[in-house]
Amino acid sequence: MREILPALERWYRAGVPFGLATVVAVSRSAPRGPGAAMAVGPDDEVLGSVSGGCVEGAVFELAQEVAASGAARLVTYGYSDADAFAVGLTCGGEITLLVRAVTPGSDPAFGRVAASVAAGEPVTVATVIDGPAPRGAARAVWPDGAEGTLGAAGLDLAVTADARGELALGASVLRHYGPHGERREDSVTVFLQSFAPPPRMLVFGAIDYAAAVARIGSFLGYRVTVCDARPVFATPKRFPDGVEVVVDWPHRYLAATGTDRRTVICVLTHDPKFDVPLLEEALRRPAAYIGAMGSRRTHDERRERLAEAGITEAELARLRSPLGLDLGARTPEEVAVSVAAEIVALRWGGSGAPLTSTAGAIHPAAAP
């Protein structure tokens, strides 16, 4: 959804109704996860995807119908066999979609939600997908406020509390309530879609490899910062547009910077006076990935210095060093692909092995 929101906001501001299909539940080997979205707008323009091509034709027609009628629909697509005319997924999975019409009248908070996402402000959108409450009714929840109603004051109150609980994780989940927000009932199903600020990638060492890693980090959706103590190397013109470049001692900058369990830290300084104090700081704070460049000899010496500095074995076990997967990479761009592959594999629990040598579902059901 995040990537198509700017275009959706333009349609919304122009007062043009459009059909919006959102994945609200998946099972088995579904190609897209909850929150994936596809919109059909003016002149039959299509934005986004919900299945990578398997059911988009059917969803296109349904979104047109819903945009015209205003009546939200809940649909499920499962496995499609060799019948070329069957609508379904060829991967063996199942996805459930909520298809609803969006207009200023039906969803008055949509514009503010889009603006918050663009500004990196956390917001959760709660949408009724099933039950006695109006299907498609939406409520937007921010840390300090909320807008819209799901049809009952008690339901609004319960959903708002749960929505704020999801903001820190940026998670998209289903929740079940009674018609007035009762916690132990399940007559109303609500989809909570959270838009947390983009995760951060912190790259230390303004070398040519850093420029390639920063570029692929931006491509993957990270907010990238490159930090180096040497001003002659840490210049914005050496890095892609949109990448923040900071001149500071790496360990000092990291000590003053917030991280969370989505943060990626790549240490490319390749110099003990920089990377040892930096890794001391990194290994003692939350992060999804901490990787350091260097040869195996450099890695062994680095471990010894970190152990002497008081880093425990459990903390050292978090360090991915030498960073990246074994792709035989040589150039900075190839090394960046290797690092990105390791980050993605760690995020989703992938093995890093060729798919031809593995069995079972290709797409994990959920993030570990």
Q: Read off the pLDDT of residues 168-179 as tens digits, 9 standing for 90 and up.
A: 667 788 999 999
Q: Give the per-residue pLDDT at 347.
A: 86
Q: Tokens for 98?
A: 């909520």
pLDDT at site 137? 92
* pLDDT reported for residue 30: 60
Inform me whether the pLDDT recorded for 290 exceeds 90: yes
- Which of 30-44, 116-130, 229-243, 273-287 is predicted least confidently? 30-44
Question: pLDDT band at 364, cuts 50/70/90?
Answer: low
Q: Confidence class of residue 39 from pLDDT cuts 50, 70 and 90?
A: very high
Q: What local confidence, expressed as pLDDT, does residue 53 receive?
A: 67
| H or E segment and range at residue 348 | helix 332-348
**Secondary structure element (H or E) that encloses residue 73, with its range:** strand 73-77
Per-residue pLDDT tens over the stretch 69-126: 999 999 988 755 444 334 555 555 788 999 999 987 778 889 899 999 888 889 999 9
Number of other residues whose CB lies within 10 A of the CB of residue 118: 13
d(CA 105, CA 141): 18
Q: Alpha carbon of 158 to those of 79, 127, 192: distances in Å?
A: 35, 13, 12
pTM greater than the 0.85 cutoff? no
* Cα dihedral sign, 140-48-218-118: negative
- Using the predicted structure, report yes or no on whether residue 27 has a pLDDT greater than 50: yes
Whole-number average pLDDT of the chain? 88
Contact indicator for 90, 30 with CB cutoff of 8 Å: no
Q: Which amino acid is at 80?
A: S
Q: What is the pLDDT of residue 92?
A: 57
Task: Find where tokens 């700081």 sit.
Answer: 281
Q: What is the β-pairing status of strands 244-247 and 188-195?
A: unpaired
